[in-house]
Amino acid sequence: MTERTGETLLSRNGRAVLDAVQTKPRCSRADVARLTGLSTSAVSTLVNHLITTGLLVELGTSPSSSGGRPAVSLGLAPRAGALVGIHLGHADLRVVLTSLDGTLLAERRHELDVDHEPAGSLDRVAASTAELLAAGDVDPDRVLGVGVAVSAPVVDARLIGSPPMLLDWGGVDIGGILTRRTGLPVHLGNDASLGALAEWRLGAGAAVDDLIYVMLGEGVGSGLVLGGRLHTGSSGTAGELGHLRVVADGKVCRCGARGCLETVVSRRALVSALAHTLGASASVEALLDLAEAGDPGALRLLADAGQVLGTALAGVCTITDPRLVVVGGDLTARPDSSDALLEAARRALDDALSPVANHDVHIVPARLGARAEALGAALLAASRSGGRLANTPQPT
């Protein structure tokens, strides 16, 4: 083997190690060996060199899947590159700066009327992006891209229809505007799908390749990971769980149909139901406070919502056969107060599944909280970067 060939091979193997760490966050050296097909000794040498050159870092130990000694987790160092993730909610927006494997480096959150202020929201996003890069001393040339999570179906970087959750955003070229404002490539995705991506890669679903993510917020969204791939469907609308009809002749939904799931279990629906007791002071926070205090009315309200959710999930689980359902959003932000909802959902799902369906489906709370969609947007930018670490300096 010539000296030049050896240098090329080492560079190629170094890139493979970096790609493996990006693909499987917090992986160990043994994980890298399995993912790359390289020998454990080669991986050890490459990892040590990449740590020395400042491209990899050790993140501490985590339990071994084989029951042996705890393994040292690896992550990409900030100098290897960075990503920006944005979530445009209905009443707030969040901007995160992450490393290339999705590790959070910094964030900004702003409360404002996103639904009705597209220009002001995008101004705030552009300013926050610049602030995060400056505060983190990150060269914009090291940012591979920007991801944006929106409450609407997305196909080919375009919003489909007039986004119901972003009422005044019809015709707004989010990607084009932010590309001009930031000078960075911008990629759009549905927020629930990106929440699924984040929980799968970084959160509660990190150990499985088939899961359903349910986002209980102002509406009800869901994202699907099937066979280790994010599934958005041919029209970008896969996972529109909130618009399944669950109540015959129920309340009119914002989509125009009657009895949709989100008319029963969304933040808006539960706050409306609570207002019968609390009036204008009703809120999700008040509901969760009451549930934590053992209030029977609040617990019944959450349990009823969980029962309807679990029943609605039965058909989806029968078709997709997931190992896990991850429930995130406002209503699961506090584990103690969301137990009533999740327990009722588990019982209802098991009761509604047919005898021939897989009953070993676990329903668990999300781990990433309100950051999930923004982190998923950052991961979307990584996946769309076209040769994820193509511009990263490589060891020779």
Q: Is residue 35 part of a domain?
A: yes
Choose one of 43, 76, 109: the last residue of a domain: 76
- Within the chain, strands assigned E span 56-62, 71-76, 82-88, 92-99, 104-111, 143-150, 154-155, 158-159, 186-190, 211-216, 220-226, 229-231, 324-329, 362-365
Nearest Cα to Cα of residue 222 among 268, 156, 153: 153
Q: Is residue 389 part of a domain?
A: no
In this prediction, residues 23-32 reach a mean pLDDT of 86
Cα–Cα dist 396/394, whole Å:
6
Q: What residues make up the domain containing 30?
A: 3-76
In this prediction, residues 168-180 reach a mean pLDDT of 89
Nearest Cα to Cα of residue 159 among 135, 177, 139: 177
Fill in the DSSP letter of residue 322. -
pLDDT per residue as tens digits for the range 42-53:
999 999 999 988
Amino acid 265 reads V
pLDDT reported for residue 67: 54
In this prediction, residues 15-24 reach a mean pLDDT of 84
Cα atoms in the Cβ-side hemisphere of radius 13 Å centred on 307: 7
Q: Is residue 296 part of a domain?
A: yes
pLDDT reported for residue 210: 96
Q: Are 325 and 362 in contact (CB under 8 A)?
A: yes
- The verdict on 68 and 104 lying in the same domain is no
pTM: 0.85
pLDDT reported for residue 7: 42
pLDDT reported for residue 63: 59
Q: Which residue has the higher pLDDT, 14 or 107?
A: 107
Q: Is residue 8 part of a domain?
A: yes
Decide if pLDDT at 65 tops 60.
no
- The verdict on 138 and 260 lying in the same domain is no
pLDDT per residue as tens digits for the range 85-95:
999 988 899 99
Q: How far is CA 310 from the centre of its chain?
A: 21
Choose one of 76, 98, 121: the last residue of a domain: 76
- The verdict on 185 and 225 lying in the same domain is no
Q: Is residue 198 part of a domain?
A: no
Cα–Cα dist 31/47, whole Å:
12
Q: Is residue 394 part of a domain?
A: no
Two structure tokens written together for 287: 């509901």
pLDDT per residue as tens digits for the range 3-18:
444 444 457 888 889 8
- The verdict on 59 and 182 lying in the same domain is no
pLDDT reported for residue 19: 83
Q: Is residue 293 part of a domain?
A: yes
pLDDT per residue as tens digits for the range 241-276:
988 999 988 899 888 889 999 999 998 899 999 998
Q: Is residue 388 part of a domain?
A: no
- The verdict on 246 and 349 lying in the same domain is yes
Cα–Cα dist 207/204, whole Å:
8
pLDDT per residue as tens digits for the range 212-231:
999 998 889 999 999 989 99
pLDDT reported for residue 213: 97
Provide the number of structural domains found in the chain.
3
- The verdict on 26 and 152 lying in the same domain is no
pLDDT per residue as tens digits for the range 337-396:
789 999 999 999 999 999 999 999 999 999 999 999 999 999 999 888 754 453 444 433
pLDDT reported for residue 302: 95
pLDDT per residue as tens digits for the range 315-352:
999 999 999 999 998 888 887 778 999 999 999 999 99
- The verdict on 189 and 170 lying in the same domain is yes
Neighbour tally for 113: CB within 10 Å = 13
Neighbour tally for 46: CB within 10 Å = 23
- The verdict on 243 and 329 lying in the same domain is yes
Decide if pLDDT at 165 tops 60.
no
Mean pLDDT, rounded, of the chain: 86
pLDDT reported for residue 396: 37
pLDDT per residue as tens digits for the range 134-153:
998 888 888 999 999 998 77
Cα–Cα dist 327/364, whole Å:
6
CATH number at residue 331: 3.30.420.40
CATH number at residue 72: 1.10.10.10
- The verdict on 60 and 170 lying in the same domain is no
Decide if pLDDT at 157 tops 70.
no
Q: Which residue has the higher pLDDT, 6 or 99?
A: 99
- The verdict on 96 and 57 lying in the same domain is no
pLDDT per residue as tens digits for the range 283-318:
999 999 999 999 999 999 999 999 999 999 999 999
- The verdict on 147 and 240 lying in the same domain is no
- The verdict on 379 and 301 lying in the same domain is no
pLDDT reported for residue 18: 86
Confidence band, pLDDT 50/70/90 cuts, at residue 159: low
pLDDT reported for residue 393: 42
